[in-house]
Amino acid sequence: MSSGIDTYIKEKFGLKDVDIRTYSPLTLAYIGDGVFDLIIRSVVVGKGNTRPNKLHYRTSGIVKAHTQALIIEYLLPYLTEEEADIYRRGKNSKPQNKAKNATASDYRKATGLEALVGYLYLTDRFERLVELVKQAVDGLNLEM
């Protein structure tokens, strides 16, 4: 793929390029949340057709803050310096929302992971992103 899905969307909707460095970590986490969810849903659906409530159960077990915290803790040694910096910026940001069903620590780590996902997506590094998610899913033996 010569250009990523974000580039394709921008072209089709006539959106101008924005310097990624101007995005706040919470903006990166916002888009990253949706992209991470899409990756996990794609894997879950790809494993076979089943009832929607079963699909939701499998997906929600992975996209919740606690599991995202486990994922990023597993991935930290594999991140580049740039990726680790984006994660730290996201983790140290001050989200407006409170964690619903997670500890504050897990919520911050999950926000950092989502910021990294958003950053990789917006910089057209989708292959690297999927590689990292697969590495964590396999390494942690996550059930999907």
Catalytic machinery residues:
33
The phi and psi torsions of 102 (rounded to 5 degrees) equal -150, 160
Q: Where are the alpha helices (DSSP H) in the chain?
A: 5-13, 25-46, 52-63, 65-75, 81-91, 104-122, 126-139
